Amino acid sequence: MEIDDQTLPSMADYDTLKKFFEAHVVEFTRPALLSPKFSQARLRDAHYAWRSDIKRLIAVEPNLKGGLDHFKQCAHLAYWLRRKSPIVDYVDWAAQVENLDELYPDEIARRDLLSKYGEEYLAFDFGLKICTYYELEKLEHPRSSAPALSIAYITDVCHMLKFKHVSPHAMYLIYKSLLL
C-alpha cells in the first residue's frame, strides 16, 4: 500500500477506501499464509459511518482551519473499521505447507495476532500507517522515524479495542501520543 498526500482525501470515495484497506489487509495477512474474505456491505457501512462522522465534526467545529487533521480522520476511520468488522473470514493456506514448523517466527506471530485480534489490529494499523505518513512526510517538523511498537503494546491496544469501548476520541489521542 503506497500512501501519499492524496490517500486520505481520496478515501472520501468508497472505491478508493476499499482499494487501500483491502491492499493493507492483504499485505499483512499474506506472510501469515492467510487470504482475507471481505464483506463489501460492512466495508461500505464503515465508510458511510466514517464520512458521516467527518461531516458532523466539520459542522460542529467552527474554528477548524483547513478541515480535520489526519489524526482525527484516521481515528474515526479506524474506529468504524473495527466496529463494522469488514473482514469476515480467512482462507488458510497453511495446509499447503507440509510442516508448520517451517514457518518463520514472524509468520507464526502474525497468525497468532490475527487469530486473536485480526479486526482490531488491522483497523488500528491502517490508521497508524496513514498518520505516520503525514507526520514523517508532510509536516514542517516531522519525526525522524515511525514509532517502534512492542508486541506487548500492540496486544494491549488490540485487547482494549476488542473488549472495551474505545471511542474515536481515544483513538485520536493514541495516534497523536504515538507520533508527536
- Find, among 77, 86, 169, the residue nearest to 130 by Cα: 77
**Which segments of 3-57 are extended strands (E)?**
34-38
The string of pLDDT tens digits covering residues 93-150 is 877 766 666 778 888 889 999 999 999 999 999 999 999 998 887 655 555 677 899 9
Distance CA 172, CA 53 (A): 13
pTM: 0.91
Strand ranges in 4-108 using DSSP code E only, listed in sequence order: 34-38, 87-92
The grid coordinates of residue 104 equal 518463520
The 3-state DSSP class for residue 40 equals: helix
Residue written as cell 499474506?
30
Contact 132, 179 (CB under 8 A): yes
Residue with the larger pLDDT of the pair 156 and 143: 156
Amino acid at 107: E
pLDDT 10s digits, 19-30: 999 999 999 999
